[in-house]
Structure 1
Amino acid sequence: MNIEILSIAKKERSIYDPLCKELSKMISRFAKIEDIELFNKDVTKAHTISPEASREAYSKLFAPHVVKSFNVILHPDGKLIDSYEFSKLLDGKIAVKFFIGGAYGFEDEFLKKGDSIISLGNITMSHKIAKVVLLEQIYRGFSILSNHPYHK
């Protein structure tokens, strides 16, 4: 299985990097995982214009990646699911892509391209923390599917 985590983010070091690296290593026992951070001058410019312009810029960056996979969009208004339901997002799939939006979220048109729209909870968190939570849930999901004791 191939998993991609795509996020609107500047490529910069973070205190969360070692944890992301460790979780990715744990996941690699079950699937190939790739972390793709997207950001360009159009996003920078859009941030100075409006939230709508920003969402449009995010959609343009994400558009080439919404192909030949099961696409999961993380969104505050998405469905709240538990770890068992989350594991079903991974079960039997060849490729899964997770999309973490920028500061202004997603355009409605982009949301329609998702096979599943989920929420990590009702609290607001930075995309870097959302990525850590997502990685942990991916590992937990694979643990559930393989009856690994990690989940207990």
Structure 2
Amino acid sequence: MQISPLAAASSSRCLHVIPTVLQQLPGMAALHHSIHSTHGNSNPNQPSTTACSQCAVPASQRTLVRSFSSKAKGGSSSSSSELVRSVRAMPIKLVSVGKGNSKAAQAMAQEWLEKLARYTTVSEVLIKPNPKGASSPQVQKDAEAEKVLKALSPGDRVVILDERGRAATSEDIARLISQAGDNGTPLAFVVGGPFGHGAAVIARADDSIRLSNMVLNHQVAYVVLLEQLYRGWTIIRGEPYHH
């Protein structure tokens, strides 16, 4: 294992208070020694007072140990490995406004739904766009929003997909799943219609995310969301799908 100079370069605090933990990992003893050498003290068993007076196992050093530990065990990057833990599976509801998917899109969606079934239950609600009597895009959005709200439950944590939402990573999706489990709150994702979400849906939303900086076709967005939900669960479980 090649030792990174990260610790010596980024912190003036030594790690002598946790040598046992460090020495359990390949190469950590050498890293421990190099940090003390940087502080002008080559003996890690007798650290200098000036170098060690601030030591109290700071959070930055604990993070460093976790990062090296996950890599030593063959884990993924620290941002993903830190999400690996036991999570209570909460049901996920997918509410989409559209005419339905093509056969090809349906087949792809079904594939991810079957994979997701290993981790949680997923229900789908399809709302047809362009209600009768819609005289304008705004009227159409308002009518669609009314139906979307009826499909949601009061206790749902609602996440809308919107091109103006915050950019979401796969790790962010994993965090949403974890937080739902921690809080015992069902998740509901809403994919809007051709003109986007009505004001009532936006007001009801707890979070707004975008899956891409590009505007995605409704069917594409739906399949991408399913894949990301599956990926999020594999991140939480520490499974090798996400690299």
Q: TM-score, normalised by structure 1?
A: 0.91
Moved over 6 A (4+): none
- Cα offset, 1:45, TM superposition: 3.3
CA distance in 1, matches of 2:198, 2:97: 14
CA distance in 1, matches of 2:113, 2:230: 8
Task: Report SS of the residue matched to 2:104.
Answer: coil
Alignment of 1:18 with 2:107, yes or no, is: yes
Task: Provide, for residues 120-151 of structure 1, a one-character-per-residue CA deviation record: whole Å limited to 9, x for no partner.
Answer: 11212211110000000000000111111111
Asked whether the equivalents of residues 145 and 199 of structure 2 are also in contact (C-alpha less than 8 Å), the reply is no
Asked whether the equivalents of residues 3 and 32 of structure 1 are also in contact (C-alpha less than 8 Å), the reply is yes
CA distance in 1, matches of 2:163, 2:133: 24
Q: Whose Rg is larger?
A: 2
Residues 12/80 of structure 1: CA separation in 2 closer, same or farther (3 Å cut) = closer
CA distance in 1, matches of 2:133, 2:98: 14
Q: Which residue of 2 aligns with 1:37?
A: 126
Q: Which residue of 2 aligns with 1:106?
A: 197
RMSD over equivalenced CA pairs, Å? 1.6
Alignment of 1:83 with 2:170, yes or no, is: yes
Q: Where in structure 2 are the equivalents of 1:2-151 lying within 5 Å?
A: 2-11=91-100, 13-39=102-128, 43-46=131-134, 49-67=135-153, 68-93=155-180, 94-151=185-242
Q: Percent identity?
A: 26
Q: TM-score, normalised by structure 2?
A: 0.58
CA distance in 2, matches of 1:12, 1:66: 21
* Number of corresponding residues: 149
For structure 1, which runs of at least 5 residues remain unmatched after alignment? Answer: none
Asked whether the equivalents of residues 74 and 118 of structure 1 are also in contact (C-alpha less than 8 Å), the reply is yes
CA distance in 2, matches of 1:121, 1:92: 23
For structure 2, which runs of at least 5 residues remain unmatched after alignment? Answer: 1-89
Task: Report SS of the residue matched to 1:45.
Answer: coil
- Cα offset, 1:11, TM superposition: 4.1
CA distance in 2, matches of 1:12, 1:75: 19
The structure whose RCO (Cα within 8 Å, separation 6+) is larger is: 1
Residues 44/124 of structure 1: CA separation in 2 closer, same or farther (3 Å cut) = farther
Query: If each structure's strand is expressed as a fraction of its own residues, which one has the higher value?
Result: 1
